[in-house]
């Protein structure tokens, strides 16, 4: 089962803490011009707005490649798509069809009309926002929890709770390959060049396979505990991993070495996102804030306050806007009822 338990405690209790990674943690000599500029921007654009999206918690948010739409997937078995208007999200459609929770979704890397959802109902579904219809349902062997679309658009990889990753042809919707792993597979991703496939695992390792051959290239001992999430920066220079030890580590793509780590969170890092320019990294956990770091120094640039654990974060592909979703409760009426909202940070304070 590849979802980290919510009860994994703060790093202070674990075997980790920033000290164990001290050689990698760089300390810079005061804020850079970029940090000062972005802090100035966020001082005037620090507003977070909430948008009703679902009737239960939101597991995943993602932007289309052109940044016009945001999709969300929920425990309520549906996906929602919003249009980004000036300073708000306007709900365009709700996509029904899955028989179980939608755990993760992603968009086609270059076609802004197509997105794919992974569900516990043992299927993935490809949707087209122009027709608002499901254009393909692909049956898989297990309950799906993670999904990614290859940078060349040709292949969708989906991982299930039994640690099987299936590679599906995005045109024919047929399985091209299937790989059973002997370790707990968490998140999966291609590199930007599309020639390597990365998996984070329950032993704290990053496993790298050649693609399309799927032959093991390297296994990196990245963290002393469960390695949960992985993201590549849009510039192709770095990738980042987040772990149950509450650390985010930044890796050089070419050298496959850890460049620095960020240690401001206290709880397992569940979700990561690089900004469109590759210069900011958002990371989130059960801490009641989202950390925004400058990638090049590891310095804290900003933090976004939230009232509950964050499940998913996604920077807009062109603007300094961060979409996210938390484990919200609808406190006004019933503290146990899930709120299912999508949030957007970076809006003008006077909007």
Low-confidence ranges of the chain (pLDDT < 50): 1-26
Question: Could you tell me which of 181, 190, 185 has the C-alpha nearest to residue 149?
Answer: 190
Does some domain include residue 13?
no
Could you give the residue ranges of the DSSP H alpha helices within the chain?
Answer: 33-44
Looking at the structure of the chain, the number of domains it has is 1
Q: How far apart are CA 229 and CA 241, in angstroms?
A: 5
Residue 118's pLDDT is what? 98
Question: Could you tell me which of 97, 90, 107, 205 has the C-alpha nearest to residue 149?
Answer: 107
Residue 335's pLDDT is what? 56
The C-alpha R_g of the chain, in whole angstroms, comes to: 19
Does some domain include residue 8?
no
Q: How far apart are CA 235 and CA 79, in angstroms?
A: 29
Does some domain include residue 280?
yes
Residue 13's pLDDT is what? 34
Does some domain include residue 19?
no
Q: Domain containing 161: what range?
A: 33-347
Q: How far apart are CA 217 and CA 238, in angstroms?
A: 18
Backbone angles phi, psi at 153, to 5 degrees: 80, 0
Does some domain include residue 219?
yes
Residue 328's pLDDT is what? 80
Laid out side by side, the sheet with 79-85 consists of: 58-63, 69-74, 79-85, 88-95
- Span 77-132, pLDDT tens digits: 999 999 999 999 999 999 999 999 999 999 999 999 999 999 999 999 999 999 99
Give the CATH number for residue 84.
2.130.10.10
Does some domain include residue 7?
no
């Amino acid at each position: 089962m590849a979802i980290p338990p919510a009860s994994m405690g703060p790093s202070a209790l674990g075997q980790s803490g920033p000290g164990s990674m001290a050689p990698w943690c760089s300390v810079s000599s005061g804020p850079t011009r970029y940090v000062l500029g972005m802090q100035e921007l966020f001082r005037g654009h620090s507003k977070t707005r909430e948008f009703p999206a679902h009737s239960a918690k939101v597991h995943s948010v993602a932007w289309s490649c052109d940044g016009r739409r945001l999709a969300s997937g929920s425990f309520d078995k549906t996906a929602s798509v919003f249009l980004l208007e000036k300073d708000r999200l306007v709900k365009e459609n709700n996509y029904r069809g899955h028989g179980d929770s939608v755990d993760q979704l992603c968009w086609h890397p270059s076609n802004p009309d197509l997105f794919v959802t992974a569900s516990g109902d043992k299927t993935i579904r490809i949707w087209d926002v122009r027709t608002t219809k499901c254009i393909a349902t692909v049956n898989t062997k297990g309950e799906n929890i993670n999904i990614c679309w290859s940078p060349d658009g040709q292949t969708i990889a989906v991982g299930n709770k039994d640690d099987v990753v299936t590679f599906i042809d995005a045109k024919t919707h047929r399985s091209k390959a299937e790989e059973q792993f002997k370790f707990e597979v968490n998140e999966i991703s291609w590199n930007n060049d599309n020639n390597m496939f990365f998996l984070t695992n329950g032993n704290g390792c990053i496993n790298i396979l050649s693609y399309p051959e799927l032959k093991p290239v390297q296994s990196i001992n990245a963290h002393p505990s469960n390695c949960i999430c992985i993201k590549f920066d849009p510039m192709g220079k770095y990738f980042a991993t987040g772990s149950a030890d509450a650390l985010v580590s930044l890796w050089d793509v070419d050298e496959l070495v850890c460049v620095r780590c960020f240690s401001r969170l206290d709880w397992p890092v569940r979700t990561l996102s690089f900004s469109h320019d590759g210069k900011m990294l958002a990371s989130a956990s059960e801490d009641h804030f989202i950390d925004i770091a400058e990638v090049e120094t590891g310095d804290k640039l900003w933090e976004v306050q939230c009232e509950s654990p964050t499940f998913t974060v996604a920077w807009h592909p062109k603007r300094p806007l961060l979409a996210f979703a938390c484990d919200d409760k609808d406190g006004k009426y019933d503290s146990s009822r899930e709120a299912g909202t999508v949030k957007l940070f970076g809006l003008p304070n006077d909007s």
